[in-house]
Amino acid sequence: MTVSVPRLYELLLEAFGPQAWWPVDKRYHERMGTDPREEVVIGAILTQNTAWINVEKALGNLKDRQALSFHGIRSLPDTELRRLIQPSGYYNQKAHRLKRVATAFAGGLDPFFTRTTLQARRELLALDGIGPETADSILLYAGGKDAFVVDAYTRRLCVRLPLPVARPDYDQVQRFFEESLMHLESSKRVQMYQEFHALIVQLVKTFCRTTPRCDGCPLRGGCQHALQLLSKGTGRNVRQ
């Protein structure tokens, strides 16, 4: 039994409800006269292989310093930027990545997002420190572009269910989801991409963890892993 992608989305939405991603402090940006989309970009870089709780501390530090914007980042000395984002880890690398992005988009995000999704993606990937997931997160959550975000969680879900993906690498997983939802009207599709990724994160954090906790998982009925558990009795230590 295989779950279709639209059905998968339906099940997750029923189980967890709307997720309201990407978390951004709009009040702050209204007060400061800054672009909230820049916070999305900054957060997307800070969260690379990092728990969000640690990213929040770094974002909080930038906020306190009134530097949660590209202009703010550019204005900070390297040493201070490193210190402010230190809780998010990899702070030397990330400080450089933030500086480069803040410089590349010194003209603001509006001109950048007038490009086609494909062209904008190419330009993001050309920046040192921006890989496919960071690029697609920026496109989807800052730009409202139709880019499906794939992360380690999405790939784990594909392998465990499993979904009929050619290979569990970034491009194949992305292609699979995008082709499965291609029939939707454009603005609906963007909204669904945003919600879908957030729901997958929620699912994997709650149930489909490194060591699965299948009890109460909304996908039990259509998941090969959960079904294996049932047939094996106590297979709770089985991993994939």
Partner DNA sequence: CCCCAGGCCGCGC
Partner DNA sequence: GCGCGGCATGGG
Question: Which residues from 34-63 bind DNA, rule CB under 7 A?
Answer: 43-44, 47-54, 57
Closest distance to DNA from the beta carbon of 89 (Å): 2
Question: Which residues from 71-90 bind DNA, rule CB under 7 A?
Answer: 86-87, 89-90
Q: How many residues bind DNA (CB under 7 A)?
A: 42
Separation CA 126–CA 105 (nearest Å): 13
> Which alpha helices (H) appear in the chain, and where do they start and end?
5-16, 26-32, 36-46, 52-64, 70-75, 78-85, 91-104, 117-125, 132-137, 152-160, 170-180, 186-206, 224-232
Closest distance to DNA from the beta carbon of 183 (Å): 25
Q: By C-beta, is 194 or 233 nearer to DNA?
A: 194
Closest distance to DNA from the beta carbon of 170 (Å): 7
Distances in whole angstroms, Cα of residue 207 to Cα of each of 50, 112, 220? 19, 38, 10
CA 131-97-100 angle, to 5 degrees, is: 110
Interface pick for DNA out of 34, 42, 70, 132 (rule CB under 7 A): 132
Interface pick for DNA out of 8, 67, 130, 223 (rule CB under 7 A): 130
Interface pick for DNA out of 116, 186, 210, 234 (rule CB under 7 A): 210
Asked if 141 touches DNA (CB under 7 A), the answer is: yes
Closest distance to DNA from the beta carbon of 190 (Å): 15
The four Cα atoms 8, 10, 14, 20 give a dihedral, to 10 degrees, of 100
Sequence-distant (≥ 6) Cβ neighbours of residue 172 within 8 angstroms: 165, 166
Asked whether 119 and 111 are in contact (CB, 8 A), the reply is: no
Interface pick for DNA out of 7, 31, 188, 205 (rule CB under 7 A): 205
Q: By C-beta, is 201 or 229 nearer to DNA?
A: 201
Name the residues that contact DNA, by CB under 7 A: 21-23, 43-44, 47-54, 57, 86-87, 89-94, 127-135, 137, 141, 149, 151-153, 169, 201, 205, 209-210
